[in-house]
Amino acid sequence: MKTARGFFKPLAIGAPAPWRELPARVERMIHFVPPHLEKVRAKVGEIAPTVDVILANLEDAIPADAKGAALAGTIAMSREVDFKALGVGLWVRINCLNSPWHLDEVATLVEKAGDRIDVIMVPKVEGPWDIFYIDQLLASLEAKHGVTRPILLHAILETAEGVMNVEQIAGASPRMQGVSLGPADLAASRAMKTTRVGGGHPGYRVIEDPHTDGLPRASVQQDLWHYTFAKMVDACAAHGIKPFYGPFGAIDDPVACEQQFRNAFLMGCAGAWSLHPSQIAIAKTVFSPDPAEVAFARRILEAMPDGSGVAMIDGKMQDDATWKQAKVMVDCARQIAAKDAEYAALYGF
Ligand SMILES: CC(=O)SCCNC(=O)CCNC(=O)[C@H](O)C(C)(C)COP(=O)(O)OP(=O)(O)OC[C@H]1O[C@@H](n2cnc3c(N)ncnc32)[C@H](O)[C@@H]1OP(=O)(O)O
Ligand SMILES: O=CC(=O)O
Ligand SMILES: [Mg+2]
């Protein structure tokens, strides 16, 4: 463990000072783009103003023989669109640390686009040692190339070992921005008997006891991911970083996608991945607090201006604890309103 004073020291001579607080950014959807496909890349300028984050994906879903083209496409994309002017984050998902690709990817990204990339997403993070490694590598490269703003790190939680170590991963470096649940790889790592990318499974349910009169027994589908979510959200909240839901692969089932995203939102997540343009609007709606809830939260704040005491609103008891919940909701809405005129109008800010 580093000392308290050592934690925020730059890891290389000439590297930028680490962030002390995470930059305040709205990240409701992280929109995945396959950067080796020129046809899709050509649309990024049009899609970017509709999302909070564009992510250039170099890892799974990019064929092995297209890794070089995806890296080149990422650099091109970082130059073709002025993401900063649009207020849109630019993230890159690199290949995992035991792959033959990640080293050249990180070196090229920092050299050619170091000042334009906000976050590097690291897949299959197993423990804090993976973050220590990439943290040092980034600091050395940032120093070498005169990058002035540290690139943040985002870990995907998608191995059993990673889940076991998520608390240490979340606190491994001041670069840590957040963690996403990666249900597809995690299912494989755990030997779950599924073939899906996230969401529930009709076979995972609880069933009521048999009825003496032989009537059918009610049963309800349960959430396969609840334990992992709870562990991830607590680890992230404790370390002051953001938890996210990852991919939802059933592009043809927007209803289930919305429910999965909503469960994540209610549990404390800041956003989710969008794999297809149709998932952008779903994430935007779900991860923007409901205007009616925001209006109610504002009434709580107004009823208890100093955040203490007790009040009744519409038959519901309010006190310091509900005041804090209301503040979370209103602060989130204000941050979104500052970026998104549509929601500013809906919230009346
Ligand atoms: C487990 C994990 O690791 S998840 C993360 C890895 N996976 C990904 O990143 C997948 C990203 N998404 C995709 O590659 C694609 O959306 C797919 C393969 C899922 C579906 O692609 P398609 O079958 O082409 O979808 P569809 O035909 O509905 O596309 C409609 C349009 O949207 C475009 N489009 C599809 N996905 C995207 C995207 N992610 N970003 C931008 N445009 C897209 C298509 O090019 C198509 O454009 P066109 O009408 O001009 O031809
Ligand atoms: O990378 C994401 C996953 O679900 O696996
Ligand atoms: Mg994965």
What is the set of domains in the chain, with CATH numbers?
4-287 (3.20.20.60), 293-347 (no CATH)
- 87 Rama sector, left if φ>0, alpha if ψ -120 to 50, beta otherwise: left
Q: What is the pLDDT of residue 1?
A: 80
Cβ–ligand 2 contact at 183 (below 6 Å): yes
Q: What is the pLDDT of residue 101?
A: 98
Ligand of minimum distance to the alpha carbon of 228: 2
Q: What is the pLDDT of residue 133?
A: 98
Interface predicted TM-score (ipTM) of this complex, two decimals: 0.99
The residue to mutate among 93, 185, 190, 194, having the most atoms of ligand 2 within 8 angstroms of its beta carbon, is 185
Cβ–ligand 2 contact at 243 (below 6 Å): no
Burial of residue 268 (number of CB atoms within 10 Å: 0-12, 13-18, 19+): middle
Average pLDDT (23-43) is: 97
CA atoms within 13 A on the CB side of 86: 20
Cβ–ligand 1 contact at 60 (below 6 Å): yes
pLDDT in tens, 216-260: 999 999 999 999 999 999 999 999 999 999 999 999 999 999 999
Confidence of residue 149 (pLDDT cuts 50, 70, 90): very high
Q: 3-state SS string over 174-192?
A: CCEEEEEECHHHHHHHCCC
Contact by Cβ (8 Å): 134, 177: no
Residue nearest to atom 12 of ligand 1 (CA): 275
User: Could you tell me how far CA 23 lies from the centroid of its own chain?
Assistant: 14
Q: What is the pLDDT of residue 178?
A: 98
Cβ–ligand 1 contact at 313 (below 6 Å): no
Residue 93 has pLDDT above 90, yes or no: yes
Tell me what the pLDDT averaged over the chain comes to. 98
Residue nearest to atom 25 of ligand 1 (CA): 276
Annotated binding residues for Mg(2+): 158, 185
243 CB-near residues (< 8 Å, 6+ apart): 178, 179, 180, 181, 229, 232, 233, 235, 236, 237, 264, 267, 268, 269, 270
Residue nearest to atom 11 of ligand 1 (CA): 275
**The model's pTM:** 0.97
